[in-house]
Amino acid sequence: MDTIKGKYRLYWWVMHGFFLLVYSALSLLNHFYFRSSGLDYGLANQALYHYAHFEPAMVTQLLGGEPLPYLACHLSFWVPLFSPLYWVFGSYTLLIIQLMALVFAIKGIQKLTHNSGVEEWVALLLGLQLYCSLFVFAAYGFDYHDNVIGAAFFPWFIYYFRKGKWVQTVLCFVAMLGSKENMAIWAGFIALSLPFIVVERNKKVYLFSLVLFVFALFYYLLAAFFIMPALAGGEGFLQLQRYSHLGGSFSEIITHLFYHPYDTFSLFWKSHVQPDTEEIIKREFWKVFLVSGGMVLFFKPQFLWMALPLLMQKMWNKESAFWGISYHYQIELAMVISVALWYWLKDISKVRYRLFFIIFVVLCTIGISMRKFNERYASYQPIKENILSLAHYKPDFDAAKVRAKLLEVPANAAVCAQANLMPHLAFRDKLYHFPFLKDANYLIFLQPGLNTYPLNEQEANKYLDSLRACPIWVEDTSALPLHILMKK
């Protein structure tokens, strides 16, 4: 028996090690080759820098360049918590933490399967399914986000709850809440589902579930309508603007749900603007969701209930970037699907059926992920996200030369830079998103390779030419394609 356990333990560590290399090649290489983005990784790095120096974390990289407290963007506490590691890992700190979070999440899946009647090889295949999920690849291909850390606690939360370890359950619940203010909505739905995932339901379980739900609701309301607006200077809850088509306030949105239930429900597959060719992005998401194991949620409705707030926030958003399979907006769904698969498989009595279903789901997950690496309707950058392409492993320019040149920029200088340079320049008080120059005395960009957002290419080139024609600016082109405009 010890030999068998040791063999499977080796299999687990081989799988963890292999995928740690895969996701490092995805995440760390993107940053190394200047593919990470100012929004949001530049923001997080600037906040990390401030927290590491025991300073208020004011970020200056938002469009417009006005300084804003980091916690007014999202109420997340992982960046301050991990800030001491800034002194060790620098601008890679949060990416490394995020990589560890994925291993942590799959260790939680492994713990769930133990003593649940599920064979060890089934547990291994469940871990493989989560590692191969496109939803996970998409999140790790898009830099760092706090909700990825929070989602990693979900399997552990379910594990500790089913074991009756209340203190550990609460700690995991708090870790999820502290990842981002809207995680509280998801956590509240999870809390209400808890009595339906245990064998024995009693008053203690129902009471515990209710207490967690009330706490999550209270936390969300406190964060969204008091703490974050106060930090933002009384501007209100900025994230609510993404649902302005449903109403101008939280109460108006709730009213819209009651008075227009079909119109609201149809937003799961339709755009709020008609006609809209981008609706195909929603259909693509649903296809990947179902093929990657999401179909199991319809057999285990308690997990479909857990997924509901995630789907509502995603599909009811007015910005099409949220609808699809790209970015980090579905990482929590990957965790729910993985746990739901375990919950479904453990109730299948015949081993051969368990074997068939888990292998089928793993193959489907791998197949749809590989297909969408190469093409998709949702917006994405193949060179950044397609780890099967050789182009992903080759920089477009001499990254070492550019990095060395950026180190020459004084640490106390106010800098304006294009988006994919910002995470490397974020360890300073003033860093502005191109083209918002503000009081910057350095303007840094790549040409070719200019990221013109939010301008179009013609507007951006015209803007740069106007600065070049101005006698107060001097251009340094010694590390092409890097251009540095400096004030005299």
> How many Å apart are CA 29 and CA 27, to the nearest integer?
6
Residue 170: partners with Cβ closer than 8 Å, 6 or more residues away:
212
Segments of the chain with pLDDT less than 70: 1-5, 238
The pLDDT value recorded for residue 72 is: 92
| Structure tokens given for 233 | 């200077």
Q: Is 82 exposed, middle or buried (0-12, 13-18, 19+ CB in 10 A)?
A: buried
Is residue 25 within 8 Å of residue 387, measured between CB atoms? Answer: yes
Amino acid at 409: V
Task: Give the rounded percent of residues in the chain with a pLDDT score beyond 70.
Answer: 99
The pLDDT value recorded for residue 248 is: 83
**Tens-digit pLDDT profile for residues 290-326:** 999 999 999 999 999 999 999 999 999 999 999 999 9
Helix or strand holding residue 26 (H, E): helix 2-32
pTM for this prediction: 0.95
Q: Is the dihedral of CA 260, 265, 267, 270 positive or negative?
A: negative
The pLDDT value recorded for residue 5 is: 65
Q: Is the dihedral of CA 238, 414, 479, 426 positive or negative?
A: negative
> How many Å apart are CA 440 and CA 45, to the nearest integer?
19
The pLDDT value recorded for residue 1 is: 46
Is residue 488 within 8 Å of residue 474, measured between CB atoms? Answer: yes
Q: What is the CA radius of gyration of the chain?
A: 23
Q: What is the DSSP letter of 271?
A: -
End-to-end CA distance of the chain: 74
Residue in the structure block whose two tokens are 């106010």: 414
Pairing of strands 415-417, 431-433: parallel
> How many Å apart are CA 417 and CA 61, to the nearest integer?
9
Q: What is the DSSP letter of 417?
A: E
Letter string b/e over residues 224-262, b meaning 16 or more CB atoms within 10 A of that residue's CB: beebbbebbeeeebebbeebeebeeeeeebeebbeeeee
The pLDDT value recorded for residue 3 is: 57
Helix or strand holding residue 302 (H, E): helix 301-315
